Amino acid sequence: MSLLNNIRKTINYAGRNGCREAYYAAAERLGQIRGASYSYDAPLPAQLRAQRSEYAEWEAEQARAGGERLPLISILVPLYMPKEEYLRAMIESVLAQTFGNYEVVFADGSTDSAADAVISSYKSEKFTYHMLGRNGGISYNTNAAAQFARGDYVAFLDYDDMLTPDAVCRVSRVILESHPEIIYSDEDKCDAKGRKFFEPNIKPDFNRDYLLTNNYICHFLVMKRELFLALGLRSDYDGAQDYDLMLRAPWSHIRHIPAVLYHWRTHSGSTAGNPASKNYAYEAGRRALEDYLRCGHIEADVEDSRHRGFYRIVYHPDIFTQRGDVGVVGGRIVDRHHRVVGGMMREDGTLVYGGMHEMESGPMHRADTVQDAEAVDVRCMQIRDNLRDLYQTVFNSSYENHVMKQDESLRAKSIEFCRLVRKMGYLVVYDPSITHQIR
């Protein structure tokens, strides 16, 4: 991202949050840039050859009418006056796929477009092009593409982005393993020329409360076609139509592929390159979240967080009253230097954001965002009333007599208590806005 863009983002951030927070945000961003060492690890040629051989074997097995049929994946590409350079790069990234059981459905809302000639020049039987006659927007154009799709699953690809060569292979394997309704992967960004890769978004497995703060799923999203046709995209939420889709979708069978399969191109017209250029998308995302809460009969307000595109839900009167799925809410503990010394933990006892300054937010603002956790620290913990007996059993103390002095036994007990709570079917939620400072 350019220096000018970073300066613009800092100025906008200061206008929303004040100079002190902008200082820490800028310092953290500068540190990330200086320490950036990410490089996209493309699959090795031998790995790609093995995947192509695997596909050929499966194809031969299918021809012999044995084994399970490979799923057909329909890649939906909505178009409107596409830039030829980006369109060709996207097409070539699809044609480079090691697995061939896919189709690409182009739905063009342009009234005068050269896209047809570009697409036709590749002479691929896997491509179908449909001129819609009018531009109805991203949701309308994508819904139209889905109507022409024949696949078992649909996948969403913007014309100016690119897939990794193993994307369809990795998705196909997951479908054959467990037939999920929704699949998503990690992603990164690339420059306008598609040569430099940066800012990887290494995502967690499905995390309900993290999704309720931002559309972390984003790319590469794949969904059963029947499910998508039942839900569709809603034009009222254009700009955040994929977030609205995920908020309305069932969350019972979602699989995360922990690998970068999607390159999100940054340029002057993209959200990736200039988030301030699409403030309407953030407003649409907030409205989608408000609609989700309203449909779920959850009484709450949605506020913008200090990070654009991230939200905070304020429950009436508290989260336990409005959500029966939450058992524990935990915050973070900071020392006199405002460094995190307690809070969200993994089951092995690792403190997830340990040592960070309380004003830092970390990659993708995860450290500053509400999310479901494996465990939280008892020193900054709120619990549902019906868990008080369990609390007494684990900590040998009543909840009212909260023990605030940390030692290794309390850390282990915190983890055990949260494990038992999750075993009972409750979520453990980490909320960094709840902060306790020790001296």
Per-residue model confidence (pLDDT) at position 269: 58
Residue 338 falls in which region: left (phi positive, over 0), alpha (psi -120 to 50) or beta? left
CA distance 242 to 223: 11
Per-residue model confidence (pLDDT) at position 16: 58
Furthest-apart CA atoms within the chain: distance in Å:
74
Per-residue model confidence (pLDDT) at position 34: 44
- AA identity, residue 242: D
371-372/427-437 β-pairing? antiparallel
Q: Helix, strand, coil: what percent of the chain each, to 5?
A: 40, 25, 35
Neighbour tally for 252: CB within 10 Å: 9
Confidence of residue 100 (pLDDT cuts 50, 70, 90): confident
Confidence of residue 65 (pLDDT cuts 50, 70, 90): low
Confidence of residue 37 (pLDDT cuts 50, 70, 90): confident
- Can you say how many angstroms the Cα of residue 323 is from the centroid of all Cα atoms in its chain? 22
Asked whether residue 273 carries a pLDDT value surpassing 60, the answer given is no
User: Residues of the chain with pLDDT > 70: what percent?
Assistant: 88
Asked whether residue 333 carries a pLDDT value surpassing 70, the answer given is yes
Asked whether residue 410 carries a pLDDT value surpassing 60, the answer given is yes
Of 397, 394, 410, which Cα lies nearest the Cα of 333? 410
Q: How far is CA 286 from CA 292, 302, 304, 409, 432, in A?
A: 10, 7, 8, 42, 20
Tokens of 250: 């069932």
Per-residue model confidence (pLDDT) at position 274: 55
Asked whether residue 10 carries a pLDDT value surpassing 90, the answer given is no
Considering the entire predicted model, what is its pTM? 0.88
**Mean pLDDT computed over 356-378:** 94
Asked whether residue 102 carries a pLDDT value surpassing 70, the answer given is yes
- What's the mean pLDDT when you consider all of the chain? 89
